[in-house]
Amino acid sequence: MEYVFKAENISFSYYTLQGEQNVLKDISFGIKQGEFVSIAGPSGCGKSTMLSIMAGLIKPQNGKTKTKDGLKTGYMLQQDYLFEWRSVFSNALLGAEIKGTITEETKEYAKSLFEKYGLTEFMYKKPSALSGGMRQRAALIRTLVPKPDILLLDEPFSALDYQNRLNVSREISSIIKKENKTAVMVTHDISEAISVSDRVIVFSKIPAVIKNEFEIDMPYDSLRRDNPKFTKYFNEIWKELQ
């Protein structure tokens, strides 16, 4: 399988008046077309920094990222950040608006996504009229409208409470599978990582190196959590995180 993204010996530090903070140390991994990869690691170890590098928002001091030509990334932040001064629909078109690519076609595509994910009747409402899960779906639609090839998800469900989180993460990940997108998700929830991913990359504590990688060899369906392998993976990853 071909790689759509490769990180090669990435090192990154933040420089502040308080001193130097080495965050990432010699990180290398690849993401294959259609793969769903999770990055797990202790809090503050540099997971969000890694995603920002992948999205090209910041440049690493050492090492490089290689992407397939013309690869478009879509980034989903920790919270939905839907703008209250726009309708949900106009929020979803924000990316296209910025790129200056709003056409009837994009609008139709956005509408089809709203329909697919059950938000049609909320399209012209203000974001505050939506529940937490619905907002998360709207934020996902906003990420999907520019048709990204790879999705970067930074703890996309952390703003939700536990019950919602299970449902929404199942829902969102099945949407991503259905759209046949490549995705990289940051999480510190081990069960979440195992239940949605093909592969889990475990970061060490700061400065982060890759401690281990786990291929999750289970069929992708809602029954993963009941699979006996689930506990095995859980324990292995949990041990790595200690």
> Three-state SS for 157?
coil
CB nearer ligand ATP, residue 26 or residue 97: 26
Torsion of CA 120, 178, 136, 234, to 10 degrees: 150
Q: How many CB atoms lie within 10 A of CB 132?
A: 16
- Check binding of 114 to another protein (CB under 8 A): no
Span from 24-32, 91-99, 110-118, 160-168 in contact with another protein (CB under 8 A): 91-99
In this structure, which amino acid lies at residue 177? K
Least spacing, CB of residue 21 vs Mg ion, in Å: 14
Task: Verify binding: residue 158, Mg ion, rule CB under 5 A.
Answer: no
240 in Cβ contact with 202 (< 8 Å): yes
Contact 63, 7 (CB under 8 A): yes
Question: Is 227 among the residues that bind ligand ATP (CB under 6 A)?
Answer: no
Q: Answer yes or no: are the C-beta atoms of 172 and 91 closer than 8 Å.
A: no
User: What mask of x and - would describe binding to Mg ion in positions 39 to 78, judged by CB under 5 A?
Assistant: ---------x------------------------------
Angle among Cα 143, 179, 4 to the nearest 5 degrees reads: 80
Selected binder of another protein within 13, 79, 204, 227 (CB under 8 A): 79
Q: Which does 49 bind (CB under 5 to 8 A by kind): another protein, ligand ATP, Mg ion, none?
A: ligand ATP
Spatial CA neighbour of 54 closest among 92, 17, 5: 5
Structure tokens belonging to residue 62: 């050492």
The residue among 14, 143, 177 whose CA lies nearest residue 75 is: 143
**Binding another protein by CB under 8 A: which of 15, 16, 19, 85?**
85
146 binds another protein (CB under 8 A): yes
Write down the least CB distance from residue 18 to ligand ATP, Å: 8
Closest distance to another protein from the beta carbon of 95 (Å): 4
The letter for the amino acid at 50 is: M
Of 21 and 90, which has the nearer Cβ to ligand ATP? 21
**59 near another protein (CB under 8 A):** no
Residues of the shown chain interacting with another protein in the complex, contacts defined by CB under 8 A: 55, 57, 74-75, 77-79, 81, 83-85, 94-95, 97-99, 146
